[in-house]
Amino acid sequence: MTSPHVTIGSSDEMQTHWRQLASQYGSPLLVFDAKVLRRNYQELVEALPGVQLFYAVKAHPHAFIVRVIEQLGGGFDVASGGETDLLLQLKVFGRRTIHTHPIKKDAEIRTALRYGVTTFVVDSLYELEKLIPYRGRVGVLLRLSFRNLGAAVDLSRKFGCSLTEAPEIIARARELDVHIKGVSFHVGSQCADASKHVEGIETCCELMQRMNEHGGTPMNVMDIGGGFPADYNRQGVDIHKFCAPIRAALEQLPDDWDILAEPGRYLVASAVTSITTVVGKSIRDNVRWYYLDDGVYGSYSGQIYDHACYPLQVLRTGESFPSVLAGPTCDSIDVIAEGIELPELEVDDLVIGHEMGAYTAATRTRFNSLPDARLVDLGTGEIDG
Amino acid sequence: MRHFEETLYDAVCQQFRIDKLYFENKTDHQHLMIFHNAQLGRVMTLDGVVQTTEADEFVYHEMMTHVPMIAHGNAKRVLIIGGGDGGILREVLRHPVNHATQVEIDSAVIDMAKEHLPNHSAGAYDDERCHIIIDDGMNFVRESTDKFDIVIVDSTDPIGPGEVLFTDDFYGQAKTCLNDGGVIVTQNGVPFFQPDELQTTHRRLGNHFADANFYCAPIPTYYGGFMSFGWATDNSELRRTSVDTIRERFDALNIKCRYYNPPIHSASFALPQYMLDMLDGDT
Ligand SMILES: Cc1ncc(COP(=O)(O)O)c(C=O)c1O
């Protein structure tokens, strides 16, 4: 387990803020700050001028977040009928949504079409053929694979065709009269830098131009996926700087192409903060164990599934001891952090988790039948759960 | 300013300005809206697809109703599947029928249409010849022992809540509700953009009826040119009823229409070559 960034102590103002939230809404709690989401969105828009943003709903499928993205004029990237349903319930118009899961059931395609999605992603001949009945309606993106060992999550092992397979799939699509309007890729989530994005853009551009030379329906859409990082180690993420090589690569593309991106993590990670409470403590082998009311089966599930390590904060200061923060379930894997130095905490102390908006609540389980952390919208006071 | 953008096709779409929103459902797993548009009057949309507008509904409802009714010549009992807005019922009741049964899956649709699209039904729901049954259309045709001269299937699109009304099984069961020589007509989409729908329906109706065919009319807000209507009956002569006979029957009705007239009736069975080619390609 990598060690999280830990902040010891906090300003009086923030202490009061978190204590008030915990006493008003209970613990464990997730606190959503729409202002932060808006700022992240605006920064990404400025870092990627001319790129249409489709929020990857999977990162945090919640009405509070969807509403803000909709107000900002953003689009949505869905990967399942459940995500489509959320947008339908919120009356988000289907034309702002793309479906990006390369593998889907026929029923899934129909649900998406019915809702109003017409952009679908395929990465094999098998998936292409599933769209034959709907070819009069859809525009398809062909997903390519770019392996990325530098990302926290490599998304190109399971999905994406190789550059050498692509021409065959495109040719077959033309025979079948299924319109492939462009390509997509996802170079992996939580990327260290944008070099893989650049490689993806350049390679796809070359492929699209080569295919366009053969005539037929031109391809003119490039979807550069997600991968924009959250600031888990608190060194500061300068998204404008991160995207500079991407901007430079996009400059080289023909002006009349449409460029899309599917950011999830970057938009929502810092917009949600977790509040948990110490419910018990013990000292074993000179190590202080603190048992919290949320853990890796709950909001901290991303530490298992998403390989994330969230920055933590305790409110007390004082002499530090080797400590472990553990979650509430009976399983011993349910440990949030160990090998960290913390001041002596007491029962009822709060532990704050930062950058906890992406792939956190989205992947939690019901293990031990513990209640989910509730989500509160800081701006409106609306509470869910 | 809000706009409604239709979501049927990826590469093209029609867009309507929402001048005033009268109704938007908040809860179900579908998105229904009724709004005003300066050009089209009241517009009803469901999940990103235009269902009906006050400006052009007459084309659809007149053609869906008067073509089978007048071709039949003596229809007394009519079954309407769907058609919650009441437009078909309104046209049916202009004929000297004894009885019209309308099967609608959700009573809320009728209530909502009466309130927000009152000109569609124009009081038809108060006519004592009409019988409203709240049931699934498939279920009704499977279980009912009633017989009708005409069955009119006023459904939504095949991808959507009306999916079952496009199945082979439904057409077979609907036939058992028809008197000898009766006719079933169906809403069958815009073949220019939806060729598969034309081909599939042709095949499926052909499994059950001696004459499975189509007639068409252009509905301006069903983007894509001619809309096709499925036509199926065991009396193959009905489709060829002479224009003089049609005129006689129409004159006897003494009603005024805005799209339908006897020459249009006859001509609507003439299919454009692209549709004939689609049907040929389907053998
Ligand atoms: C297809 C697709 N698009 C977008 C995303 C969002 O990526 P990120 O959170 O790295 O921005 C993912 C993440 O799994 C994905 O699989």
Do B41 and B8 fall within a single domain?
A: yes
Domain CATH number, residue B29: 2.30.140.10
Q: Is B8 on the interface with A (CB under 8 A)?
A: yes
Tell me the shortest Cα–Cα distance from A123 to chain B, in angstroms: 19
| Ligand 1 atom having least distance to the Cα of A263 | 11
State the distance from the centre of ligand 1 to the C-alpha of A122, rounded, in angstroms. Answer: 15
Q: Is B2 on the interface with A (CB under 8 A)?
A: no
> Which residue of chain B is at minimal alpha-carbon distance from A82?
B29
- Over residues A45-63, the pLDDT tens digits come to 999 999 999 999 999 999 9
| Residue A216: predicted pLDDT | 77
Check A118 against B193: CB less than 8 A apart: no
Do B210 and B141 fall within a single domain?
A: yes
Mean pLDDT over the full length of chain A: 95
Question: Is pLDDT above 80 for A337?
Answer: yes
Task: Give domain limits for chain A.
Answer: 6-31+270-378, 34-268
Chain B, 76 to 95: residues with Cβ < 8 Å from chain A are none
> Catalytic one among B127, B154, B211, B277?
B154
Residue-wise DSSP of A121-190: EE-SHHHHHHTGGGTTT-EEEEEE----TTSSB--SSSS-B-TTTHHHHHHHHHHHT--EEEEEE---BS
Give this complex's ipTM. 0.88
Calpha distance A316→B264 (Å, rounded) = 85
Q: How confident is the model at residue B161 (pLDDT cuts 50, 70, 90)?
A: confident
Q: Please tell us whether the domain made up of A34-268 is placed in CATH 3.20.20.10.
A: yes
Report how many domains make up chain B.
Answer: 2
Q: How confident is the model at residue B283 (pLDDT cuts 50, 70, 90)?
A: very low
Q: Is A136 on the interface with B (CB under 8 A)?
A: yes
| Residue B282: predicted pLDDT | 56
Indicate the pTM of the whole model.
0.92
Do B252 and B266 fall within a single domain?
A: yes
Do B133 and B36 fall within a single domain?
A: no
> What's the average model confidence in pLDDT over A172-201?
95
Do B79 and B219 fall within a single domain?
A: yes
- SS3 state at A279: strand
Q: Please tell us whether the domain made up of A6-31+270-378 is placed in CATH 2.40.37.10.
A: yes
- Over residues B85-142, the pLDDT tens digits come to 999 999 999 999 999 999 999 898 899 999 999 999 999 999 999 999 999 999 999 9
- Over residues B46-76, the pLDDT tens digits come to 999 999 999 999 999 999 999 999 999 999 9
Full domain range(s) for residue B20: 3-53
> What's the average model confidence in pLDDT over B246-251?
98
Percent of chain A with pLDDT over 70: 100
> What's the average model confidence in pLDDT over A171-184?
96
Residue B84: CB partners within 8 Å, gap ≥ 6? B104, B106, B109, B110, B113
| Residue A385: predicted pLDDT | 84
Do B252 and B176 fall within a single domain?
A: yes
Do B98 and B47 fall within a single domain?
A: no
Mean pLDDT is lowest, of A10-24, A141-155, B115-129, B134-148, for A141-155
Chain A, 177 to 216: residues with Cβ < 8 Å from chain B are 179, 181
A360 lines ligand 1 (CB under 6 A): no
Do B78 and B144 fall within a single domain?
A: yes
Cβ contacts of A362-369, under 8 Å, gap ≥ 24:
A362/A58, A362/A59, A362/A60, A362/A61, A363/A301, A363/A302, A363/A304, A363/A305, A363/A306, A364/A297, A364/A298, A364/A299, A364/A301, A365/A297, A365/A298, A365/A301, A367/A297, A367/A329, A367/A331, A368/A297, A368/A328, A368/A329, A368/A330
Do B71 and B196 fall within a single domain?
A: yes
List the single residue in A110, A136, A181 with the smallest CB-CB distance to B193: A136
Residue A35: CB partners within 8 Å, gap ≥ 6? A378, A379
Tell me the shortest Cα–Cα distance from A89 to chain B, in angstroms: 6
| Residue A277: predicted pLDDT | 98
Do B89 and B37 fall within a single domain?
A: no
Q: Is B225 on the interface with A (CB under 8 A)?
A: no
Do B118 and B168 fall within a single domain?
A: yes
Domain CATH number, residue B237: 3.40.50.150
Question: Is pLDDT above 80 for A154?
Answer: no
List the single residue in A110, A116, A136 with the smallest CB-CB distance to B7: A116
Question: Is pLDDT above 80 for B1?
Answer: no
Tell me the shortest Cα–Cα distance from B36 to chain A, in angstroms: 18
Check B47 against A136: CB less than 8 A apart: no
| Residue B281: predicted pLDDT | 76
